[in-house]
Amino acid sequence: MPEGQMTPEQIKELLKTAEGLTPEVIFSGLPIAFKADQAKGENIVFQWELSGENGGAWFVKIEDGAVEVKPEAHPSPNIAIQTDADTFVKMAKGEANETSLFMQGKIKIKGNPMAAMKFRKYFL
């Protein structure tokens, strides 16, 4: 690991304790937390649509072991995930379970829900 780069465990711990964490900060950190080895051969675009304060649209494009994250809507995502910004932050911090939130209707998915649940395996 290059000098000065955080380990996945350090990043997870930082997320748990971070105050004032926003979706923008989380999305900007995704390339650092990306597990390229888990994404070899994958080609998928996740569109996140977050409502509420600090909400917005971000897409995460995974293409054969590379990741691109942009704060905008993608013209043709494979999967669109809708939730509020606070719920997204709780998921990122490990304080909320995606499957439970989906079953409760707090996350809405357009596309294959099982493919959407793979999102986490690509990061940390």
Structure confidence by residue, pLDDT tens digits, 56-91 = 999 999 999 999 999 999 999 999 999 999 999 998
pLDDT value, residue 50: 98
The average pLDDT across 29-35 equals 89
pLDDT interval class at 3 (50, 70, 90): very low
Residue 32 has pLDDT above 60, yes or no: yes
Q: What percent of the chain has pLDDT over 90?
A: 54
Q: 8-122 architecture in CATH?
A: 2-Layer Sandwich (3.30)
Confidence of residue 1 (pLDDT cuts 50, 70, 90): very low
pTM for this model (two decimals): 0.83
Q: How confident is the model at residue 16 (pLDDT cuts 50, 70, 90)?
A: low
CA 42 remoteness from chain centre? 16
Angle, helix 23-33 to helix 8-17, in steps of 10 degrees: 170
* Range 3-7 contact pairs with CB under 8 angstroms and sequence separation of 24 or more: 5/32, 6/32
